[in-house]
Structure 1
Amino acid sequence: MKKTYKVDVDCANCAAKMEEAVKKTEGVKDATLSFMTLKLKVEFEDGVNVDEVMQKAYKNCKVVEDDCEIYL
């Protein structure tokens, strides 16, 4: 399953850090964050609870970039 989320991030470097944090989240197969469009595309592993995985991904992003937002 793939989903797209709107994000709020200040710089391209921060976006890259957020993308890596999401990719490392358990249940995420792949992720791409575009600083230009402010969109996060996430591909989830089969059978996971998407909402729970995104809550974990959001927490992981807050660790690397505390003023970021992912609109779930």
Structure 2
Amino acid sequence: MRKSFKLENLDCANCAAKMEAGINELPGVNKASISFMTSKLMIDADAADEEALAAIVDAAQAVCTSYEKDCRIVR
């Protein structure tokens, strides 16, 4: 399943790169990419349904806030 999300309060390109690397290491994530210029997160994951994808997005949110405490994934 592939889905795109808006990132709010993404302030640092270096942090975005670290977030992307961290999200790519999460179980179930095939590929994640963050565009700092557009503040978008694209996740391609092995999620069979929306509930499984929600768990991956929750884990991705934890990665994001570890680098920028105010950064939020908008669903």
Q: TM-score range by the shorter chain?
A: 0.7 to 0.9
SS in 1 for 2:5: strand
Per the normalisation by structure 2, the TM-score is 0.84
Deviations 1:24-63 (A, max 9, x none): 1111110010001111010002536100111011112212
CA distance in 2, matches of 1:54, 1:36: 21
Alignment gaps of 5+ in structure 2: none
Counterpart for residue 57 of structure 1:
60
Within-5 A mapping of 1:4-43: 4-8=4-8, 9-43=10-44
Per the normalisation by structure 1, the TM-score is 0.87
Aligned length, in residue pairs: 72
RMSD: 1.5
Q: Is the 8 A contact 2:47 2:53 kept in 1?
A: no
Alignment gaps of 5+ in structure 1: none
